[in-house]
Structure 1
């Protein structure tokens, strides 16, 4: 692994980039020997700094769970990051575009847990039993590391490129709807940009929740009741700019709208 002082220095670079909405050079360009374990260590130091100044963790994001996203990024394995309370917006929100870097938006479902979920052998059925409800969500990507040549190591260290999420107001229990067939039709300024269906995420959008519980078990941790799990995009990311209006139609799970200002 990278020396602790290097991990701490990179975490501070990323924290500063988050504060200034800037972009830093790729970690893998400067440290080609860096591993996935290093990147999660960097993310962990950055997370702990945020918690130390009073931010509150509300959940986890899972990324790169669909073929669409893997092809868009050239990265072939899922990753995860953390979500804080000050990054959650309701549908209808006006979102300051200057708060983010390399701003893109993705179509996802989020799940809220009603009970803890723990590996090492967590299945889709276990995840569905632990989920209180599903809710439509848009993820706002926020990349503080230059995109050209980026690898999974760079992405994970940068909190899996998570910036914020916009939550819808329709909630469904897993036994109320076949979550695989929830659609997403994403429009920007009135023009359809992306379409997809939730089964594009690992065959079932809650499969990622089970994957994350098993991944956490490797680090002696578990997912807790009340946490929001953002399950991964089933469309490619769409670039957005100031004054863009975004609308996503999730069929039986309603509509999300937001505007970037």
Structure 2
């Protein structure tokens, strides 16, 4: 089993570096083997750290919105790893050539001021420094998005980056359940939602991540930035048009532009 895990990790790493998509990997693993998928994701991350000099700055929780879960055919969250070259400050402009199938979603991010070594809610909340608006840049190394949960997890939970806004609000000063978000493509509204869409309250996603991270022996550490999951729906990130996520409760906005050369 370890051989196939190493082999799949190599295939996903090569797909990333060679810019060549691969077939879904779930058929090469025991049915619904999420533990194997997480080991694959970890191996790919370790290889990126060693070969590219990258380092970890945070983690993301995905599949926290019930509507997103229903569309993906799953009933639980997943998580991925954020490396230093995956973080950007709003407004950003990124080349379309850097992605396979770019999508985008609007979230609330949390930044830690201390390690989380206990996963009870009080300990989790005490470790949070501030919250900030964010967009997750979503992508995968497959031919399409018709992934199963194992495919998604193995490919870093489809996380390819994070864009954060300039506003930072100390944790506890606003009710995150009531924060409203609207995501626009140019002037067109694409999706909207409230923080309560994220497992009832975005802090619940962070608590799930804290518990999971402790269980696997990789607890959340001071300074990490944590994505809590999509408030609205994930949408296609089309080139050459500005995407703006606007938030209530003083969180401001996040802006991202994907650029693609246009033939003269």
> Superposition RMSD on alpha carbons, in Å?
1.4
Q: Structure 1 residues 72, 22: CA separation in 2 closer, same or farther (over 3 Å shift)?
A: farther
More deviation in 48-57 or 68-77? 68-77
Which residue matches 1:68? Answer: 67
Q: 1:20 aligns with which of 18, 33, 40?
A: 18
Moved over 4 A (4+): none
Determine if the alignment matches structure 1 residue 220 to structure 2 residue 221: no
* Counterpart among 143, 150, 153 of residue 153 in structure 1: 150
1:100-135 Cα offsets, whole Å, 9 max, x none, are: 12111001011000010124xx23332221100000
TM-score by length of 1: 0.94
TM normalised by structure 2 equals: 0.93
Matched residue, 2:169: 172
Distance 1:101 1:188, change over 3 A: same
Q: C-alpha separation between the residues in 2 aligned to 1:57 and 1:45?
A: 13
Count of matched residue pairs: 257
Report if aligned partners of 1:126, 1:210 keep a CA contact under 8 Å in 2: no
Contact 2:61 2:228 survives alignment (8 Å): yes
Cross-structure match for 2:180: 183
Structure 2 unaligned runs (5+)?
260-264
Pick aligned residue for 2:47 from 49, 52, 57: 49
Shift in Å at residue 32 of structure 1? 4.8
What SS is found at the alignment partner of 1:214? helix
Q: Which residue of 1 aligns with 2:100?
A: 101
CA distance in 2, matches of 1:8, 1:159: 15
Shift of 1:34: 5.7
CA distance, structure 2, for counterparts of residue 200 and residue 78 of structure 1: 13
The CA deviation string for residues 179-203 of structure 1, in whole angstroms up to 9 with x for no partner, is: 1111110001210000011111111
Q: Which segment drifts farther, 73-82 or 139-148?
A: 139-148
5 Å-filtered alignment, 1:184-223, equals 184-223=181-220
> Structure 2 vs 1, CA of residues 60 and 101 (structure 1 numbering), >3 Å: closer, same or farther?
same
Please give the secondary structure, in 1, of the residue aligned with 2:244. strand
Gap regions ≥5 residues in structure 1: none
